[in-house]
Amino acid sequence: MSTDVSGARDLVESGKNGFIFPVADERGLAEGILNILKDPERSREMAEYGFKKVQVLLDEEKILQENQKMYEFTLKALDHSK
C-alpha cells in the first residue's frame, strides 16, 4: 500500500504487488489495507510478485552493467569536450 508519490510509482504496480492511492485518500488507503488483510491468498501472491520485481530491479550484475555504461558515456563526453 502506498500513496501516489514518486518512488512508489517505480516499485508498486497497483493491483499486482500493492495498491497506490491518491495522497489525500486516507479512507481508500485504510480500506485497501483492510481488504488485503481479509484476503491472505491475494496478499501472498502480491508479496511474491513484489519480491520477484525487486530481485529483477536490484540485480547486482544488471546495476553494475548500467553503472559501467553511464561512466563510459560520461568519459566519452568529457573526452569530446576537450
| Nearest-angstrom CA–CA distance, 26 and 15 | 18
Mean per-residue pLDDT for 74-78?
92
Judge whether residue 9 has pLDDT over 90.
no
Predicted TM-score (pTM) of the model is 0.68
Query: Tens digit of pLDDT for each residue in 21-73?
Result: 999 999 999 999 999 999 999 999 999 999 999 998 889 999 999 999 999 99
Q: How confident is the model at residue 80 (pLDDT cuts 50, 70, 90)?
A: confident
The sign one gets for the Cα dihedral 35, 36, 37, 42 is: positive
